Structure 1
Amino acid sequence: MSEFDRGIALTARGGGRYEGELGEGWRIGGGVNGGLLLAFAGHALSLAAGPHRDPVSVSGYYLSASVPGPATVDTEIVRRGGSLTTGTAVLLQDGEERLRVLATYGDLDAFEGEVRTTAQPPVMPPPEQCIGVEHAPKEMIAEAALLERFDLRLDPATVGWALGQPSKEGRIQGWFRLADGRDADPLSLLLVADALPPVTFDLGLPGWAPTVELTVHVRCRPAAGWLRVVHATRNLAGGYFEEDAEVWDADGRLVAQSRQLARAPRQWGTRRS
């Protein structure tokens, strides 16, 4: 079993309830990565949704900080249709609600047509010419245990922030795959959408940015191999910013998109949910 599969493993307890363990290895700052939490709750909905096991649109609101340890997910199926199932999920720890999800699931293999988009995949050097995690600032690695689960290669053109020279354009992009070689699938795309460093690093604002809300749209089942991931922002106001992400597979298809609202970064040692 891969690290990701262990990270979202659940046991059914009946009545739409599932139990699992949020691992220390998915920590970032003081809590657990928001993408992993969305995949954890999303896995419970996948199990509850019957034949519609693939996430199509998943929105999560982060209500309190999740920490490594036991967690429970309560699911409710709101509607079962011919092609889509809609449900809700609530992730709890110690009786406190951490994350609330509303999502629609389907069978991506049954979707008709190809992904048609005017968007273009990012142009980057090949992975071997990009910047690996081993070159990240020491304080960043110390605050992000989950980086050990990623094979992340950032485009050199978007890592000036690591040298104290952010571009101020609000864009970070790179190649992504899981460190143990597990290929991406629809559930793991919920993690990938939140896998890169906060895009505010490129605005000259170091520190982790707690997620308020994250929505991921999955367009199709990804091909095996490297993913190209782009994070960008255009607005920072009132202490909050949006972060848009695109995920492209090895066949050059746009397989997922996301947008999140997050709080502007604090100092090192605070969490990004």
Structure 2
Amino acid sequence: MHFDQLLEPCRNGGDTQIPTSWGQGRATFGGLVAAMLYEKIAAAAGTDASLRSLTFSFVAPVASGAVTLSADVLRAGRSVTQVEGRLMQDGKPALAALAAFGSARQSGIRVDCDRAPVFKAPEDCPALPSIPGVVPEFTRHFDYRIARGQLPFSGSSDPQLGGWVRFTDSEDAAVSVPQLLALIDAWPPALLPMLGKPAPASSLTWTLELTEPLPTHGGGDWWQYLAEVEQAADGYGVISARLWDADGKLVAFSRQTVTVFD
């Protein structure tokens, strides 16, 4: 099922279904379940203010099948609205989120964002290979081109991983926040190329900040992504990442704590 079609029931209803085609090992692709919960949160916020920050805590693996979504407005002020959301499965919390929406205000402070890194063109970069049992099922919904770093499980010492990414099947309309969540989470954790053999890894926490205005490019356009492992020890790693649109404009900041079971 198309990504956007999966999100339609999330806006108004409390229950929805997750198909098996978006699997990631024993769990569902985190970008999808995050997007589903965001749709519920945005509907509850009921504001025209822009999304400024979004934090997720992956409490338990979300399997395919039925899930229940809920969202509560914690406070709606003159310029900022904060909303808490939860995704439940089998009566237990599996994903929790806190979103902050903020209206633009006049300010004398302005710091411009970095431009995109210089990558080779997508057609000149190798694609992420499709290896059953190693590469997750959900990756078939995306097209990847590796421009920085090495393949997962290659035993690399390079802390960076990135390149180009796009949906393989996407509408021509301007990208939505849920699509951005999926695009920036589609890449393997930058820890995985450091491993010499396959091992499971999953997000524990994930925080994103978006820049305004959102781009007018579609999810089927190429987007640039670059992640870097900032610290790793004891089976956990901290990864920072950024996403740029086709014009080189910075769109999103990402920071994840990832667990790896090597």
TM-score interval w.r.t. the shorter chain?
A: 0.7 to 0.9
What is the aligned counterpart of 1:139 among 109, 113, 133? 133
Give the equivalent residue in structure 2 for 1:193.
184
Q: What is the rounded CA distance, in whole Å, between the counterparts of 1:21 and 1:160 in structure 2? A: 32
SS at 2:175's partner residue? coil
Task: Note the 1:1-273 alignment, pairs <5 A.
Answer: 3-10=2-9, 18-52=14-48, 54-106=50-102, 116-117=111-112, 119-133=114-128, 135-141=129-135, 144-155=136-147, 157-161=148-152, 164=154, 166-182=155-171, 184-204=175-195, 206-220=198-212, 221-224=214-217, 225-266=221-262
Q: What is the rounded CA distance, in whole Å, between the counterparts of 1:140 and 1:191 in structure 2? A: 20
Deviations 1:26-54 (A, max 9, x none): 11111111121111111101111112364
Closer, same or farther in 2 for the Cα pair 1:198/1:115, shift >3 Å? farther
> Once the 2 structures are TM-superposed, how far is the Cα of residue 229 of structure 1 from its aligned partner?
0.8
> Once the 2 structures are TM-superposed, how far is the Cα of residue 9 of structure 1 from its aligned partner?
2.7
Partners of 1:30 and 1:67 within 8 A in 2: yes
SS at 2:185's partner residue? coil
Partners of 1:200 and 1:265 within 8 A in 2: no
Q: What is the rounded CA distance, in whole Å, between the counterparts of 1:55 and 1:4 in structure 2? A: 20
Structure number with the higher helix fraction is 1
Partners of 1:152 and 1:175 within 8 A in 2: yes
Q: How many residues align?
A: 254
SS at 2:72's partner residue? strand
Higher-RCO chain (CA-CA 8 Å, sequence separation at least 6) = 1
Closer, same or farther in 2 for the Cα pair 1:153/1:97, shift >3 Å? same
Give the equivalent residue in structure 2 for 1:271.
none
Partners of 2:115 and 2:249 within 8 A in 1: no
Q: What is the rounded CA distance, in whole Å, between the counterparts of 2:53 and 2:187 in structure 1? A: 20
Q: What is the rounded CA distance, in whole Å, between the counterparts of 1:112 and 1:189 in structure 2? A: 27
Closer, same or farther in 2 for the Cα pair 1:65/1:77, shift >3 Å? same
Q: What is the rounded CA distance, in whole Å, between the counterparts of 2:115 and 2:78 in structure 1? A: 33
Q: What is the rounded CA distance, in whole Å, between the counterparts of 1:34 and 1:168 in structure 2? A: 26
Q: What is the Cα-based RMSD across aligned positions, in Å?
A: 2.5
Partners of 1:47 and 1:53 within 8 A in 2: no
Letter in structure 2 aligned against 1:223: T
SS at 1:140's partner residue? coil
Q: What is the rounded CA distance, in whole Å, between the counterparts of 2:165 and 2:199 in structure 1? A: 21
> Once the 2 structures are TM-superposed, how far is the Cα of residue 140 of structure 1 from its aligned partner?
2.2
Partners of 1:242 and 1:259 within 8 A in 2: yes
Q: What is the rounded CA distance, in whole Å, between the counterparts of 1:111 and 1:150 in structure 2? A: 37
Q: What is the rounded CA distance, in whole Å, between the counterparts of 1:46 and 1:197 in structure 2? A: 27
What's the % identity of the aligned pairs?
26
Gap runs ≥5 in structure 2: none
Q: What is the rounded CA distance, in whole Å, between the counterparts of 1:5 and 1:128 in structure 2? A: 27
Give the equivalent residue in structure 2 for 1:269.
none
Closer, same or farther in 2 for the Cα pair 1:161/1:34, shift >3 Å? closer
SS at 1:234's partner residue? strand
> Once the 2 structures are TM-superposed, how far is the Cα of residue 173 of structure 1 from its aligned partner?
0.3
Closer, same or farther in 2 for the Cα pair 1:11/1:209, shift >3 Å? closer
> Once the 2 structures are TM-superposed, how far is the Cα of residue 112 of structure 1 from its aligned partner?
7.1
Gap runs ≥5 in structure 1: 267-273
SS at 2:230's partner residue? coil
Give the equivalent residue in structure 2 for 1:270.
none
> Once the 2 structures are TM-superposed, how far is the Cα of residue 258 of structure 1 from its aligned partner?
0.7
Q: What is the rounded CA distance, in whole Å, between the counterparts of 1:198 and 1:126 in structure 2? A: 22
